Structure 1
Amino acid sequence: MQMQATLMQQLMHLLAPNCCLWCQMQVQQPQTQLCDYCHSHLPQLDLSWVDHNALLLPDVAKGLPRVKFDRLYSLSWYKQPYRHWISSWKFQQQHAAGELLCQLFYQHALLFQQQGGDLPDCISYTPVSIQRLRERGFNQAKLLAQQLATAWQKPCVSLFQSPDLVPHQIGLNRRQRLDNLKGKIQLKEGLLPSHVVLVDDVITTGATLDYLSALLKAKGVQTVSVWTLAITRVL
């Protein structure tokens, strides 16, 4: 059955190939969203020389002083084409862009493991309120977290709840973002493991992930690692 499905995918690719989400040229492989050229020229952060921890990069360390989480892994700075894809997925519900970003996240997770990265006990993600979930139809952080869980064969766990709507954080500074979060995100009851990975799409001021990390550390979690698609340069 799997062989038949693969053959069908290859046939459909030959008859009606996907167009690259960046250059619009034909892609070379079925089930991919980018052509080989665009994929090989994607901007990326090389974190292998800083032990896979973006917090050790001078530009990031300067913008994120005294954060509660211990490690940060991101695919790229928040620049094109990531800026376009993330915005299209999150605010315009362009699911092809979301599928591409999930594929890239999964590929980086496999590479991280192959390079000897420290794997967590579980993966969690920034929550959204029921109202926000109804508006958007999905939680992009959860979908990304599921990619890590699949790649690493680790559980993806909902550790937080957001009963109240958190106002949009765009354009706010770190203090304003923290004020928005107080009392609106809560840690669920239950036993917590030693090492948790938290997932979000973009890290800007770090306020949300710092707030969640503080909740985890207060309950005994020893190591909190953060994974995001991109890091803004104005942290």
Structure 2
Amino acid sequence: MSRFSHALKLGLEALFPNFCISCQNHIQANQALCQHCLDDLNLFDLTRHPNLLHRPDICDAFPDSQFDHLIACAWYQAPFKLWLKQLKFNDQQFFRVALTQVIDKQLQIARQVNVTWPDLFIVLPLHNQRFLARGFNQVSQTWLPVLKSQQCSVSSALYKQKATKAQSQLSKAKRVKNLQNAFVCQQDLTGKTVAIIDDVMTSGATINAATEAIKNAGAKQVWAMLTCLTGLGNLHND
């Protein structure tokens, strides 16, 4: 950055200061959370459970998981629930920045504590109809900056070919039926470890359907990486 650009950046920050969305303290322009508030969030301890499927309460919440490894940031509760909803339905971009900070923190820890790491990352795609109606994919908005900064290989090999009903009001059995043959993988993934990226997992039906398509394409392992977990047994948090 040139001296002029740096001076301009400092000047803009002075004229239009940025404040932490939690404590309102002044922070840098590319942040939404100060370091203290970021560190104070109730996140999953990935140093203790590098694979969250080995954590008993999470294993109980998702007993039918078809994927092999699970990494997530937190339970779907305050403040993450508000941030995700405001981004998804109201396109509130400062919540995107906050979520990206959280994802970046957890992914750095995950990379340190896991002996192996995925060869390829796939953001769970929206069906074309839903993407056109919404105009953006909030999962891509929050995860892609982190994946690119960590030089992860991102692929668009997965395609959603079925316009499914919204999962939120369906039972577990209906969620599974709703997602049957929803995804198709358009790339040979023989021998690869592939990570599927999504924002919230409730029953695991969507990730399981995507996992099936990816394993049918030859992947040896599928990881699920989520911003938040709900679990049908934890709907009191929803």
Task: Output the TM-score relative to the length of structure 2.
Answer: 0.88
Moved over 3 A (4+): 1-7, 114-117, 189-193
Contact conserved, 1:71 with 1:224, CA < 8 A, in 2?
yes
Is 2:34 the partner of 1:35? Answer: yes
Q: Which amino acid aligns with 1:30?
A: A
Tell me the residue number matched to 1:48. Answer: 47
Once the two structures are overlaid, the 10-residue window that deviates more, 123-132 or 35-44, is: 35-44
Q: CA deviation at 1:3?
A: 5.2
SS of equivalent residue, structure 2 residue 169: coil
Mapped partners of 1:11, 1:82: distance in 2:
32
Contact conserved, 2:69 with 2:224, CA < 8 A, in 1?
yes
Tell me the residue number matched to 2:208. Answer: 210
Indicate the RMSD between aligned Cα atoms, in angstroms: 2.1
Mapped partners of 1:189, 1:40: distance in 2:
39
Tell me the residue number matched to 2:88. Answer: 90
Q: CA deviation at 1:137?
A: 1.3
Mapped partners of 2:220, 2:115: distance in 1:
17
Extract unaligned runs of 5+ from structure 1: none
Pick closer, same or farther for the CA change 1:22–1:59 going to 2, 3 Å. Answer: same
Pick closer, same or farther for the CA change 1:6–1:109 going to 2, 3 Å. Answer: farther
Contact conserved, 2:52 with 2:69, CA < 8 A, in 1?
yes
Tell me the residue number matched to 1:14. Answer: 14
Tell me the residue number matched to 2:236. Answer: none
Q: Which amino acid aligns with 2:60?
A: K
Tell me the residue number matched to 2:97. Answer: 99
Mapped partners of 1:107, 1:226: distance in 2:
17
Pick closer, same or farther for the CA change 1:105–1:192 going to 2, 3 Å. Answer: farther
Contact conserved, 2:125 with 2:160, CA < 8 A, in 1?
yes
SS of equivalent residue, structure 1 residue 200: strand
Contact conserved, 2:67 with 2:221, CA < 8 A, in 1?
yes
Out of 174, 179, 182, the position equivalent to 2:180 is 182
Q: CA deviation at 1:189?
A: 4.0
Once the two structures are overlaid, the 10-residue window that deviates more, 159-168 or 1-10, is: 1-10
Q: CA deviation at 1:149?
A: 2.6
Mapped partners of 1:68, 1:78: distance in 2:
21
Once the two structures are overlaid, the 10-residue window that deviates more, 30-39 or 140-149, is: 140-149
Is 2:25 the partner of 1:26? Answer: yes
Contact conserved, 1:187 with 1:215, CA < 8 A, in 2?
yes
Aligned positions of 1:182-201 closer than 5 A? 182-201=180-199
Mapped partners of 2:135, 2:175: distance in 1:
23
SS of equivalent residue, structure 1 residue 65: coil
Comparing both structures, which one devotes a greater share of its residues to strand? Answer: 2
Q: Which amino acid aligns with 1:8?
A: L
Identity %: 26
Extract unaligned runs of 5+ from structure 2: 234-238
